[in-house]
Structure 1
């Protein structure tokens, strides 16, 4: 494997320059963090599982006409993606009260919300990803009203599709985080779904038992994090045949 230039490294993924202009290689790490990077650990095989899960979900979304940056999976830990200009917002869709919403509003966890709620958070580790309003977003130029309408429209379409998909395999989609980017093709710009969709970015509860099958197992010291991710992959029908430990870190990619 030839050495590639590292473009960006986040808490759970690394981006390398792609094989052709306008592309990047997204590498999934086993590192996991919580509470704005205050809690850290390495969960062996997590990156392999998230790569496969995100590949599957992004492909299904592409199939129904939701534009994503995903092109194809390259190997157990890497996928080829389109290079986009990330909009500095996290778009959170909530169907059931949990996490910070329960703490802020005093709504018991597990309460079905009267309708799906969309929240925006500024992507800033230094500030702890604060919640922001549409007024903040447009006033500071992070996005505009036209883009926000598109983000909300796409987020609700993703929610409708994923809620049904997970329901079919006995999983409740409690809430999830999306990121979007601007994809430029000549003078034309298109909003695309970016980043990943995985148990790292979703709250997934077993419908029968309410057992957590997501990153909350790490946040709350519930244990069996990798096993929960494996179960999600198994129910989706995509658990790697030889298990999630097939490929070590990219020692040749510096």
Structure 2
């Protein structure tokens, strides 16, 4: 299913999107760039793109096997993914199972608090505005998405959370929180887009009780903990160790 890479459509902080010889598909290249705090902090980390591409591929395949529609079609190379071309909805959908990060900075909720039910937040995808959180009324005011699609996004996100929590629990990992993005493909179908990787998920190692050493995600970069690639490689290693878990 290999495709010829065409013109650059879009370049983001962590990926480049290219046209290809099929107008309904794109090629997504995962970069080694690392950013945090709305790109105020930047670095290049050799090997990160390859790891995020392979992890995202495995998790998209897992979701597809569980009846969740994504933009993923195939892996063309270690850093290049073939995907459906979608019109991305400018929403970042964040679901939190354990309190950490901005939730603890912005509320009196203590770090490590289990959130039951998981907290689902919507953010306006706009770097210049700092990706502000959206209330239900602001969502209506901005008219970014239909009510039916919004309900579908919430339902799908909660289903994804259940699938991934159980999957990673079996790998001795806590899925602390994660971000999803959605888009509409050429048929108007709502699908998960972007990526699912340690760049937009928080993972804690269940085997490690140290609050810093247990972190296996981009917080290692955000917090200057080092060992970013080692952490990402550990996630991929556990995913690949028992492929039967994804079938």
How does the TM-score come out when normalised to structure 1?
Answer: 0.90
Mean Cα deviation higher: 34-43 or 103-112: 103-112
Where in structure 2 are there 5+ consecutive unaligned residues? 242-247
Q: Which residue number in structure 1 is paired with residue 235 of structure 2?
A: 232
Q: For 2:207 and 2:58, locate their aligned partners in 1 and report how far apart those are by CA, in whole Å.
A: 24
Partners of 2:145 and 2:35 lie apart in 1 by 28
Over the aligned positions, Cα root-mean-square deviation in angstroms equals: 1.4
Regions of 4+ moved over 2 Å: none
Distance 2:36 2:157 in 1: 24
Q: Which residue of 1 aligns with 2:49?
A: 47
1:210-245 CA deviation, whole Å, 9 max, x = no partner? 51000000000000000000000001117xxxxxxx
How many residues align structurally?
236
Alignment partner of 2:145: what SS? coil
Aligned-residue offset at 1:144:
2.0
Residue 209 of structure 1: aligned partner: 208
Unaligned runs of 5+ in 1: 239-254
Higher relative contact order (CA 8 A, sep 6+): 1
* Contact 1:95–1:117 (Cα < 8 Å) also in 2: yes
- 1:149 corresponds to which residue? 151
User: Residue 204 of structure 1 aligns to a residue in which SS?
Assistant: strand
Secondary structure at 2:73 match in 1 = strand
Flag the 1:4–1:115 CA change in 2: closer, same or farther, 3 A.
Answer: same
Q: Aligned equivalents of 1:64 and 1:199: distance in 2?
A: 21
Indicate the structure with greater helix content: 2
Q: Displacement of 1:78 after TM fit?
A: 0.2
Q: Deviations over 1:20-47 (max 9, x none)?
A: 0110000000000000100000110000
Structure-2 separation of matches of 1:178 and 1:22: 22
Deviation at 1:110, TM superposition (A): 1.1
Cα distance in 2, alignment partners of residues 2 and 180 from structure 1? 25
Deviation at 1:2, TM superposition (A): 5.8
The corresponding residue for 1:140 is: 142
1 CA distance for matches of 2:20 and 2:92?
25
Distance in 1 (CA, whole Å) between partners of 2:219 and 2:21 is 36
Per the alignment, in what secondary structure is the counterpart of residue 156 of structure 1? helix
